[in-house]
Amino acid sequence: MTARRIDILFSAEAIAERNRTLAAEIRDAGFRDDVLVVAVLKGGFVFAADLIRALHGAGISPEVDFMSLSSYRAGTESSGHVTVLRDLETDVVGRNVLLVDDILESGRTLAFARQLMIDRGAARVGIAVLLDKHGRRAVPFEGDFVGFVCPDLFVVGYGMDMGHAYRELPYIGHVVAGDDRGPAAPGPQGE
């Protein structure tokens, strides 16, 4: 992939500080005991890892599991139908479940995941997202713990990718359109 210009929206330092305050917000909201953090793959893995460490600093010792959901499959437009690609290995009955994802955009995927956890018997389900692109909501849905409100830009870094590139960046940036390497990727990127 040809390198593109990336403008920083949220620095590594701002993200680290926000993770610390989010962990305190999560603790103060009552997610203290028997907490199961469910990282939604792939984009949410970096945020989940740092948030779990911040939760430790806030006095919480969560168990961790992973799930992968998709409404895109091979395309770039959401099908509106969510599929579980990788399911949990952990029983959620009676647990405080914290779903952790990178971007809340349409709301479909996280609404599906929340309902799935409720249907499986979770005592409580919270949603922690790093970024909220509220203007792209397709269903009425809000995150309980939001890192940053994000402008309607295609963002990369800190686990988020464009064509499997840029996940390793320690900050969140947007791909700049109009440089000599062609336009940035438009449209939705998360659910």
pLDDT digits (tens, 9 = 90+) for 1-17: 566 899 999 999 999 99
Amino acid 79: pLDDT: 58
Pairing state of beta strands 63-70 and 83-86? antiparallel
- Domains of the chain: residue spans and CATH: 6-71+82-175 (3.40.50.2020)
Least confident of 44-53, 56-65, 66-75, 124-133: 66-75
Query: Pick the residue with more confidence: 72 or 116?
Result: 116
Amino acid 78: pLDDT: 52
End-to-end alpha-carbon separation of the chain, Å? Answer: 24
| Beta-carbon count within 10 A of 34 CB | 14
Q: Indicate if the pLDDT at residue 165 is higher than 50.
A: yes
Average pLDDT over residues 137-160: 95
pLDDT (tens digit per residue) in 108-131:
999 999 999 999 999 999 999 999
Q: What pTM does this model have?
A: 0.88
Amino acid 189: pLDDT: 57
**What distance lies between CA 9 and its chain's CA centroid?**
16
Please choose, from the candidates 191, 130, 136, 188, the residue with its C-alpha nearest in 3D space to the C-alpha of residue 157: 130
Q: At a CB cut-off of 8 Å and minimum separation 6, what does 91 contact?
A: 120
Q: What is the largest CA-CA distance in the chain?
A: 54
Please choose, from the candidates 20, 148, 164, 36, the residue with its C-alpha nearest in 3D space to the C-alpha of residue 91: 36
Q: Indicate if the pLDDT at residue 168 is higher than 90.
A: yes
What percent of the chain stands above pLDDT 90?
76
Question: Measured between alpha carbons, how far is 161 from 152 in angstroms, rounded to an integer?
Answer: 16
User: Which CA distances in Å does 174 have to 4, 56, 72, 110, 133?
Assistant: 10, 30, 21, 23, 13
